[in-house]
């Protein structure tokens, strides 16, 4: 006689360590096997897009810090690009180089958290996470030098950056860039063939190339599926067309490939920073921009390759000091749309690994 089972619903979150924020998953299970899943968000909604309609263009910058709060510099960057495109503002050369350096440092810092947290989800204990926080602290120290802050930096401005680099910044950055490849090699020695990581991540949560494209995934999630797409090369913004770097991709599209792509992208970010340091000119770090910016009537969309994928800002101007409309394209939200395809047929323990491999920040989902 065949054994009949009845599916049941398991709620994970909204407050649960494995959900990486105030996020909830309603998983329909057959035993321990995931039959279906419904992501539920909205517990952290702060109305950032609506608040932006009541603030000046410059006053919106601190709001962007709180989106993907692990990548505040990148959020600043994307928003400022949109305002500059809308208002026709030219950014000084030195400011362009400073922005790129900050964005790539932020990318490394974000990947250190993503990889460390993912390994913790895999059951590789807390040690790898602490190893990676060791290097992230060095990057945060650099950010503190230029902005005085350690998490939400509010450093970039429309037309450039808030202030020039202090005298001690470039020597400290040079030391970090010289040392960091050795630490990435150390991560590889510890983790690349780690039996816990291989058992938990290899072949798990596969997202095919076709599925990734159809879901409009971007960033490491897309590239791990074998799609060689990076906005810094496909649609270069700022001065990224001046730098040489490669686009790491995966072959299978599983959790392991998503981990590997992020590690390899750290190396490419170091390449970009080295080139930027060698080329950075002297000069002003901010264009002459009025305190109250009034862009002409129109609309603009600017996008960047953030650590999680395509981050875009769409602005509509009615020639007032605040945008008529501000809409954000958050990569975490779009990448999450592929979660159902990735987890069906896997067990509850695998669900945690797969979800962690996407690397979301709820702050930019609940805008």
The alpha carbon dihedral of 125, 129, 132, 138 has a sign of: negative
Question: Residue 353: is its pLDDT beyond 80?
Answer: yes
Helix axes 93-122, 72-87, angle to 10 degrees: 140
Check pLDDT > 80 for residue 16.
no
**Residue 192's pLDDT is what?**
87
pLDDT in the model for residue 321: 95
d(CA 19, CA 39): 11
Confidence of residue 247 (pLDDT cuts 50, 70, 90): very high
Average pLDDT over residues 2-12: 82
List alpha helices for 192-254, DSSP H: 195-201, 209-214, 220-223, 231-234
| pLDDT of amino acid 1 | 63
Give me the pLDDT at residue 145, please. 95
Mean pLDDT of the chain, nearest integer: 92
pTM over 0.85: yes
pLDDT single digits (tens) 317-326: 999 999 999 9
User: Binning pLDDT at 50, 70 and 90, where does residue 23 land?
Assistant: confident
Q: What is the topology classification, in CATH, of domain 52-366?
A: Cytochrome-c3 Hydrogenase; chain B (1.10.645)
- Rounded Cα gap, residues 103 and 155, in angstroms: 11
The 3-state DSSP class for residue 95 equals: helix
Q: How confident is the model at residue 42 (pLDDT cuts 50, 70, 90)?
A: confident
The DSSP symbol for 166 reads: P
Both tokens of 135, joined, read 């290097």
Segment 116-173, tens digit of pLDDT: 989 888 887 788 889 899 999 999 999 999 999 999 999 999 999 999 999 999 999 9
Distance in angstroms (rounded) separating the CA atoms of residues 248 and 227: 10
Predicted local confidence at residue 354, as pLDDT: 93
Cα–Cα distance list, 88 to 254, 272, 295 (Å): 42, 27, 8
Binning pLDDT at 50, 70 and 90, where does residue 4 land? Answer: confident
Residue among 140, 137, 64 nearest 102 (CA): 140
Is the confidence at residue 44, as pLDDT, over 90? no
pLDDT at 193: 87
Written as six digits, the tokens of 359 are 């690397």
Q: What is the pLDDT of residues 45-54, one digit of tens each?
A: 888 999 999 9
pLDDT, tens digit, 9 for 90 and up, residues 69-109 = 999 999 999 999 999 999 999 999 999 999 999 999 999 99
> Average pLDDT of 186-198?
88
């Amino acid at each position: 006689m065949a054994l009949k089972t009845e599916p049941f619903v398991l709620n994970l979150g909204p407050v649960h360590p494995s959900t990486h924020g105030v996020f909830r998953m309603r998983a329909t299970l057959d035993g321990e096997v995931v039959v279906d899943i419904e992501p539920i968000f909205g517990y952290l909604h702060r109305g950032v897009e609506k608040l932006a309609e009541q603030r000046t263009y410059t006053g919106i910058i601190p709001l962007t810090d709180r989106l993907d709060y692990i990548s505040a510099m990148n959020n600043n960057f994307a928003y400022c690009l949109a305002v500059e495109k809308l208002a026709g503002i030219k950014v000084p050369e030195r400011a362009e180089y400073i922005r790129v350096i900050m964005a790539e440092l932020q990318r490394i810092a974000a990947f250190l958290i993503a990889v460390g947290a993912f390994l913790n989800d895999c059951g590789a204990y807390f040690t790898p996470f602490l190893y990676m926080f060791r290097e992230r602290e060095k990057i945060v120290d650099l950010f503190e030098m230029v902005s005085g802050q350690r998490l939400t930096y509010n450093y970039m401005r429309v037309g450039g950056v808030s202030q020039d680099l202090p005298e001690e910044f470039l020597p400290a950055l040079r030391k970090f860039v010289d040392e960091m490849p050795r630490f990435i090699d150390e991560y590889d020695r510890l983790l690349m063939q780690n039996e816990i990581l291989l058992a938990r991540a290899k072949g798990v949560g596969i997202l095919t190339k076709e599925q990734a494209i159809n879901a409009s995934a971007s960033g490491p999630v897309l590239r791990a599926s074998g799609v060689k797409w990076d906005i810094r090369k496909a649609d270069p913004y700022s001065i990224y067309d001046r730098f040489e770097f490669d686009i790491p991709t995966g072959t299978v599209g599983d959790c392991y490939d998503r981990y590997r792509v992020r590690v390899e992208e750290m190396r490419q970010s170091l390449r970009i920073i080295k080139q930027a340091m060698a080329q950075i000119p002297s000069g002003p770090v901010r264009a002459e921009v009025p305190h109250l910016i009034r862009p002409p009537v129109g609309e603009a969309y600017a996008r960047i390759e953030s650590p999680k994928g395509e981050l875009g800002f769409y602005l509509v101007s009615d020639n007032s000091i605040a945008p008529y409309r501000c809409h954000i394209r958050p990569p975490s939200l779009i990448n999450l749309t592929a979660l159902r395809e990735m987890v069906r047929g896997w067990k509850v323990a695998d669900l945690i690994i797969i979800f962690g491999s996407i690397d979301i920040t709820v702050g930019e989902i609940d805008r």
